[in-house]
């Protein structure tokens, strides 16, 4: 699949639920209203749609949410997709908050998952509770170390927030180095109405990187995972630190991904509202050929880039939907 700007679209991010067992301040409102079950694609529908993408050239699938591992019987989907590894699909992975990993890490490995991303914005238990609103850091840490013990390569994702965790990045780099994890720092994105002011949260990663260089030697590397992060080797730890910068440096020129929501809506760009509805097609019983034609048509509308901006005048999100709806 080639989009109008000559980019090969090989990466599909699939949200399996909008629900989460945490309420991170940059992602959700505290009082969220979640979708009724009937609106969500079934696991069988998700598998059928993923299979169509794989036939058209998708080589990497990331399962996301909300928190994907809270969806009932989601391991069945991992098992089905795992059977497609080596048959068009090259990598199956997951982004999680870690709360359910102690229970599921072994099953993920058995399905063919080799690496995972875990969201962890702070190592401070009190601050963790404040950021997640009601999370317990011990549950996430137990999950992270269960994943490591099961043989999964772990990457830690941390959203950089001014005045919240900006003094912790040296500690996170050191902790990740100690335990053999890579770290990826992410700029906060203006998606969905949240409690609080995004202009107060926003911290440019150019500033963070300059601060890290005071303590760590960051060496250029051509390492890539297929996503938007730019990585550096940390000489002192032997691990990597990555930076995802949708605000300070838009990475759209190399975008290779589209996002499927748990309701069957395909967003060709995280930062645009144009979408394609696949739930109605699936439930109308269309053929695989018709499904593939609809995917091609959607890819033909993929825009050149997003228009993220922190609106300091109106404090409104650039995109109304929450990240948990699109797939984090």
SS3 220: strand
Count Cβ atoms below 10 Å from residue 285 Cβ, excluding itself. Answer: 7
Rounded Cα distance, 115 and 63, in Å = 12
Q: Is 148 marked as a binding-site residue?
A: no
Known binding residue 269? Answer is yes
- Hey, which bits of the chain come out as E strands? 11-15, 60-64, 91-96, 115-119, 153-160, 182-187, 218-220, 230-234, 239-244, 257-260, 265-267, 275-277
For residue 199, the model assigns a pLDDT of 63
Residue 62 known to bind ligand: yes
To the question of whether residue 50 is assigned a binding role by annotation, the answer is no
Q: Quick check: 305 pLDDT over 80?
A: no
- 245 or 94, greater pLDDT: 94
Consult the annotation and say whether 93 binds a ligand: no
Beta bridge partners of 93: 62
Q: Is 66 labeled as ligand-binding?
A: yes
| 31-51 pLDDT tens trace | 778 899 999 999 999 999 999
Instruction: Classify 260 in phi/psi space as left (phi over 0), alpha (psi -120 to 50) or beta.
Output: beta
User: Does the annotation flag 26 for ligand binding?
Assistant: yes
Look up residue 162 and give its DSSP letter: T
Show the tokens assigned to 133: 């609103």
Neighbours of 302 (CB within 10 A): 22
14 is in an annotated binding site: no
Whether residue 258 is annotated as binding a ligand: the answer is yes
Residues above pLDDT 70, as percent of the chain: 88
Predicted pLDDT of residue 190: 62
Averaged pLDDT of the chain: 90
Residues 161-220 pLDDT 10s: 999 999 999 999 999 999 999 999 999 876 445 455 556 788 999 999 999 999 999 999
Cα 278-284-287 angle, rounded to 5 deg:
80
Structural domains in the chain plus CATH codes: 11-326 (3.20.20.70)
């Amino acid at each position: 699949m080639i989009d109008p700007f000559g980019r090969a679209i090989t990466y599909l991010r699939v949200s399996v639920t909008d629900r989460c067992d945490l309420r991170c301040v940059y992602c959700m409102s505290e009082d969220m209203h979640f979708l009724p079950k009937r609106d969500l694609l079934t696991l069988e529908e998700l598998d059928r749609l993923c299979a169509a993408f794989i036939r058209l050239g998708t080589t990497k699938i990331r399962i996301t949410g909300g928190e994907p591992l809270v969806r009932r019987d989601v391991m069945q989907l991992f098992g089905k997709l795992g059977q497609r590894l080596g048959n068009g699909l090259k990598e199956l992975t997951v982004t999680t908050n870690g709360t359910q990993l102690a229970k599921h890490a072994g099953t993920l490995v058995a399905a063919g998952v080799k690496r995972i991303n875990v969201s962890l914005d702070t190592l401070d238990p009190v601050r963790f509770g404040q950021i997640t609103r009601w999370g317990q850091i011990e549950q996430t840490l137990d999950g992270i170390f269960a994943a490591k013990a099961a043989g999964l390569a772990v990457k830690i994702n941390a959203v950089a927030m001014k005045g919240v965790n900006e003094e912790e990045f040296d500690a996170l780099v050191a902790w990740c180095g100690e335990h053999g994890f890579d770290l990826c720092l992410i700029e906060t994105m203006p998606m969905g109405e949240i409690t609080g002011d995004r202009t107060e949260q926003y911290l440019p990663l150019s500033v963070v990187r300059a601060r890290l260089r005071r303590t760590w030697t960051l060496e250029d590397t051509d390492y890539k995972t297929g996503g938007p992060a730019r990585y550096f080797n940390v000489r002192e730890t032997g691990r990597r630190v990555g930076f995802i910068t949708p605000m300070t440096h838009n990475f759209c020129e190399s975008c290779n991904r589209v996002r499927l929501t748990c309701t069957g809506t395909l967003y060709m760009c995280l930062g645009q509202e144009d979408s394609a509805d696949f739930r109605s097609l699936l439930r109308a019983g269309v053929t695989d050929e018709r499904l593939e034609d609809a995917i091609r048509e959607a890819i033909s509308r993929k825009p050149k880039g997003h228009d993220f901006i922190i609106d300091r005048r109106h404090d409104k999100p650039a995109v109304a939907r929450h990240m948990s709806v699109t797939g984090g």
